């Protein structure tokens, strides 16, 4: 079928919204009519070339919609089902899926391979095969994806809110709850209040943290953070240290989560300096491919027993956790409406990313 999509043809250029040809679903694939797609920073990392994948590529990896057609071998969903797209698929069979780490599913290798699961491409434009961000490509009203990339959700959940749970919300919430192992009474610091940071605050609140400090240089984001669970705010990691010392009587944070738009090796030292003995520094932010080295004080590890943890998808099991998080949304435990700052048409996508870079959005969202 013919549809439109936001395509990236070369690093550094804008998203080009244009007509593309979308193949019918293969045996293990489904076609989803998307309701909404979140504007996550990671797509912009590809646009700038900080994350290098095969181009041309349809962007977008944070979407939800309704299954419209399924391939002959699909057993897990049917036409009419509401689904969230997961930015890492879950095969259910590999070692990682089988041991409760499906965020690390071996099929995740396809995120960097550039072809779809099973090989080849489902989108074509200007006579060329087109890849898809995270084997999804949600910057389009329609996408054809492998059935391992979708999870069915209840019909009454608004799909625009559900879209955010396909990446940012699960990543942030899981960073506080699973990777950070936040416990009742803990002190948690969240550095960077975008989609991931806003969800990390809410994960920390859910887990019963006593003090939650949100760090962001943008004043209105600090205000918003106070509505999403933060008890204290600061402009920078440096400015946070003194109030944190005071709050915790010198003990510092049990959990510090780095969710800034562009992670740098130089962030890790200041992050670790906010962490208490036996505490955890969690890094979920995406780093440019050329930013490889971090510098650590060995005494932080071996004398103070601080831990530095990386994270993908919040250490969650998205097929189980996405419906769970949406149930928490239904109960009012997770606020998603408040995370959507502005909505855009697909044609306005470049404006959406410009707004993100100017600090105007917690999450921008494309509605189809």
Nearest to 157 by CA among 167, 165, 149, 147: 165
| 8, 47 contact by CB (below 8 A) | yes
Nearer to Zn ion (CB atom), residue 125 or residue 198: 198
Nearest to 40 by CA among 139, 141, 130: 139
Q: What are phi and psi of 153, to 5 degrees?
A: -130, 170
Q: What are phi and psi of 126, to 5 degrees?
A: 50, 35
Beta strand residue intervals within 71-208, DSSP E: 82-85, 123-125, 128-132, 142-146, 150-153, 187-191
- Exactly one of 45, 82, 232, 267 is catalytic; name it: 45
Beta strand residue intervals within 264-362, DSSP E: 275-283, 307-310, 340-344
**22, β-bridge pairs:** 123
Q: Note whether 36 binds Zn ion by CB under 5 A.
A: no
Nearer to ligand CXF (CB atom), residue 253 or residue 286: 286
Nearer to Zn ion (CB atom), residue 42 or residue 182: 42
User: Is 40 annotated as catalytic?
Assistant: yes
User: Is 94 annotated as catalytic?
Assistant: no
- Mask of contacts with ligand CXF, 194-233, x by CB under 6 A? ----------------------------------------
User: Is 61 annotated as catalytic?
Assistant: yes
Q: Note whether 40 binds ligand CXF by CB under 6 A.
A: yes
Q: Note whether 268 binds ligand CXF by CB under 6 A.
A: no
Q: How far is residue 114 from each of residues 4, 61, 118, 147, measured CA to CA in Å?
A: 20, 14, 12, 17
- Exactly one of 167, 232, 267, 273 is catalytic; name it: 167
State the minimum distance, in angstroms, from the CB of residue 317 to ligand CXF. 16
Q: Note whether 253 binds ligand CXF by CB under 6 A.
A: no
Q: How far is residue 335 from each of residues 81, 178, 198, measured CA to CA in Å?
A: 24, 19, 9
State the minimum distance, in angstroms, from the CB of residue 262 to Zn ion. 13
d(CA 197, CA 193): 4
Q: Note whether 37 binds Zn ion by CB under 5 A.
A: no
Q: Note whether 173 binds ligand CXF by CB under 6 A.
A: no
Q: Note whether 87 binds ligand CXF by CB under 6 A.
A: yes
- Mask of contacts with Zn ion, 148-187, x by CB under 5 A? -------------------x--------------------
Residue 4 backbone zone (phi > 0: left; psi -120 to 50: alpha; other: beta): beta
111 binds, among ligand CXF, Zn ion, none (CB under 5 to 8 A by kind): ligand CXF
- Exactly one of 28, 37, 41, 61 is catalytic; name it: 61
Nearer to Zn ion (CB atom), residue 259 or residue 273: 259
State the minimum distance, in angstroms, from the CB of residue 363 to Zn ion. 10
Q: Which of residues 214-253 bind Zn ion (CB under 5 A)?
A: none
What single DSSP character describes residue 136? T
What single DSSP character describes residue 80? T
CA angle, residues 168, 195, 258, in degrees to nearest 5: 90
Q: Note whether 40 binds Zn ion by CB under 5 A.
A: yes
| 59, 133 contact by CB (below 8 A) | yes
Structural element, H or E, at residue 232: strand 232-234
Among 286, 334, 346, 366, binds ligand CXF (CB under 6 A): 286
Q: Note whether 353 binds ligand CXF by CB under 6 A.
A: no
Q: How many residues belong to the site for Zn ion (CB under 5 A)? A: 3
Peptide bond into 56 cis (omega under 30): yes
State the minimum distance, in angstroms, from the CB of residue 174 to Zn ion. 13
151 binds, among ligand CXF, Zn ion, none (CB under 5 to 8 A by kind): none
Catalytic residues: 40, 42, 45, 61, 167
Residues near ligand CXF (CB under 6 A) are: 40, 42, 87, 111, 134, 167, 286
Residues near Zn ion (CB under 5 A) are: 40, 42, 167
């Amino acid at each position: 079928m013919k549809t439109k999509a936001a395509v990236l043809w070369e690093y550094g250029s804008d998203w080009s919204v244009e007509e593309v040809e979308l193949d019918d679903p293969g045996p293990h694939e489904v076609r989803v009519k998307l309701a909404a797609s979140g504007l996550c920073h990671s797509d912009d990392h590809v646009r700038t070339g900080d994350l290098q994948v095969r181009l041309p590529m349809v962007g977008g990896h944070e979407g939800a919609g309704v299954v419209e057609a399924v391939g002959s071998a699909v057993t897990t969903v049917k036409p009419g089902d509401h689904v969230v797209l997961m930015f890492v698929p879950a095969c259910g069979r590999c070692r990682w899926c089988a041991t409760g780490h499906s965020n690390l599913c071996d099929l995740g290798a396809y995120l960097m391979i550039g072809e779809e699961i099973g090989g080849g491409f489902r989108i074509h434009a200007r006579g060329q095969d087109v890849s898809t961000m995270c084997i999804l490509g949600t910057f389009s009203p329609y996408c054809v994806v492998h059935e391992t990339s979708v999870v069915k959700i209840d019909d009454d959940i608004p799909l625009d809110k559900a879209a955010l749970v396909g990446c940012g919300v699960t990543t942030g919430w899981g960073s506080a709850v699973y990777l950070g192992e936040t416990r009742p009474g803990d002190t948690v610091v969240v550095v960077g209040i975008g989609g991931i940071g806003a969800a990390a605050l809410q994960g920390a609140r859910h887990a019963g943290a006593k003090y939650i400090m949100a760090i962001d240089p943008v004043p209105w984001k600090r205000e918003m953070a106070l509505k999403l669970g933060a008890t204290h705010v600061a402009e920078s990691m440096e400015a946070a240290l003194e109030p944190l010392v005071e709050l915790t009587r010198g003990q510092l944070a049990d959990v510090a989560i780095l969710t800034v738009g562009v992670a740098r090796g130089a962030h890790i030292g200041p992050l670790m300096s906010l962490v208490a003995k036996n505490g955890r520094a969690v890094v979920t932010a995406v780093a440019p491919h050329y930013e490889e080295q971090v510098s650590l004080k060995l005494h932080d590890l071996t004398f103070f027993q601080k831990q530095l943890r990386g994270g993908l998808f919040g250490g969650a099991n998205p097929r189980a956790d996405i419906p769970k998080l949406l149930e928490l949304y239904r109960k009012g435990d997770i606020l998603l409406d408040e995370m959507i700052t502005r909505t855009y048409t697909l044609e306005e996508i470049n404006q959406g990313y410009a707004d993100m870079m100017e600090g105007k959005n917690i999450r921008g969202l494309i509605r189809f």
